[in-house]
Amino acid sequence: MELSETSPLFSSVKLGSAELKNRFVMAPMTRSRADAEGIQTPLAATYYAQRATAGLIITEATAVTKQGSGYPVIPGIWNDAQVEAWKPVADAIHEKGGLAYLQIFHTGRIAHSSLVGETPVAPSAVAPNGETMTAAFASEGYELPRALSTEEIPAIAAAFGTAAKNAIAAGFDGVEIHGANGYLIDQFLRDGSNKRTDAYGEDRTKFLKQVLDAVIEAVGSDRVGVRLSPWTPFNSMSDSDLETTFRNAAKALSGRGLAYLHILNGGNDNRPSAEAFALELAEIAGAPLIINAGYDAAAATAAIEKGIAAVAFGVPFLANPDLVNRIEKGAELNAPDFATFYVGGEKGYIDYPELASA
């Protein structure tokens, strides 16, 4: 018996204005194959179209401004050339019957001045631990970021709105606001990185709310999702009261009619209780829940049975363009090639094999 006969993973679901043909979401994954100007590679059209059997593709994180483009060769969406380069990607996904949201972000302090052309910016002058990549692909320690002035923050929120408009102009079905993994929005949310005493410190969700206002005004709330990662310490994130912080973040999303809330549960091995907290956040936000990190077919099926709307698969989709078909057939999955996650051109990008057709 094939899994499709028994699993709710293969049923359709509506998230905002998008009708997903199944509950498989491709998680956003940076692949570092754009050029130094943030222009997406033509190969991306092939890569994403190969994975268009997902109910929804969420693209790799895409910078809203040069100031927010803190990694080498990641794509941007702030100028016309970048928008033009994304158009064939959205078209190729649609031609294969798929749907796609562009993930938009600002890296904040997770950056190097050689890439962003200025000292990296952050809510507060608190440097992350560890090393990052320069424009010359050298590994260097993080620089001390410059704390943003109160006056310059609204323009960054507005840039998210422009990026969202650009994403729709490029043909995407919506945008995912990247509030996870220690980038600028997450830096504002948590007290380990936000030491401000102005309105953005008194209410650490204020920046998120301004971003939402700008993005919703630009494209409408039913084409907007938000990703948060309460349990993830990645990029030196910390908070003295995580659960309260993320309940507050979920409250900031409520009443807006968002397409979905996407929770990355990584960093907590206790999946059932982490799922329960994610469901609570989605309830507060009043949005359908997409869940992620470490799911296989059985865990994903169980999640849907608990009322989670869809499950995002990262590495499994990276290594298996036909993940949906493989899970349906109970077939083995390809092993991921970690060495080509962020380098390699076509290799490890568009050359993972599909199941031979019977």
Ligand X SMILES: Cc1cc2nc3c(=O)[nH]c(=O)nc-3n(C[C@H](O)[C@H](O)[C@H](O)COP(=O)(O)O)c2cc1C
Residues with a known catalytic role? 183
Neighbours of 258 (CB within 10 A): 26
180 is a contact residue toward ligand X (CB under 6 A): yes
Beta carbon of residue 243, minimum distance to ligand X (angstroms, whole number): 20
Nearest alpha-carbon partner for 193 in 149, 129, 131, 244: 129
261 is a contact residue toward ligand X (CB under 6 A): no
What is the DSSP track for 244-304?
Answer: HHHHHHHHHHTTS--SEEEEE-TT---HHHHHHHHHHHHHHHTS-EEEESS--HHHHHHHH
Class of residue 7 by CB neighbours under 10 A (exposed 0-12, middle 13-18, buried 19+): buried
Among 181, 193, 210, 320, interactor with ligand X by CB under 6 A: 181
Among 293, 308, 309, 324, interactor with ligand X by CB under 6 A: 293
Beta carbon of residue 278, minimum distance to ligand X (angstroms, whole number): 13
| Contact characters 37-66, ligand X, x per CB under 6 A | -----------------------xx-----
Among 124, 166, 292, 320, interactor with ligand X by CB under 6 A: 292
341 is a contact residue toward ligand X (CB under 6 A): yes
23 is a contact residue toward ligand X (CB under 6 A): no
Beta carbon of residue 290, minimum distance to ligand X (angstroms, whole number): 11
Among 160, 313, 349, 352, interactor with ligand X by CB under 6 A: 313
CB-CB contact of 51 with 341 (8 Å): no
Neighbours of 337 (CB within 10 A): 15
CB-CB contact of 225 with 256 (8 Å): no
233 is a contact residue toward ligand X (CB under 6 A): no
Among 9, 15, 27, 282, interactor with ligand X by CB under 6 A: 27
CB-CB contact of 286 with 255 (8 Å): yes
Beta carbon of residue 32, minimum distance to ligand X (angstroms, whole number): 8
What is the DSSP track for 157-196?
Answer: HHHHHHHHHHHHHTT-SEEEEE--TTSHHHHHHSTTT---
Q: Name the residue with the smallest CB distance to ligand X.
A: 314
Q: Which residues contact 110 (CB under 8 A, 6 or more apart)?
A: 70, 71, 120, 128, 132, 142, 182, 183, 235
Helix axes 206-219, 242-253, angle to 10 degrees: 30
Among 41, 65, 103, 210, interactor with ligand X by CB under 6 A: 103
Among 126, 147, 315, 343, interactor with ligand X by CB under 6 A: 315
Q: Is 171 or 179 the residue whose CB approaches ligand X more closely?
A: 179
Beta carbon of residue 134, minimum distance to ligand X (angstroms, whole number): 19
| Binding-residue total with ligand X (CB under 6 A) | 22
Chain contacts with ligand X (rule: CB under 6 A) = 27-30, 60-61, 103, 178, 180-181, 227, 264, 266, 292-295, 313-316, 341
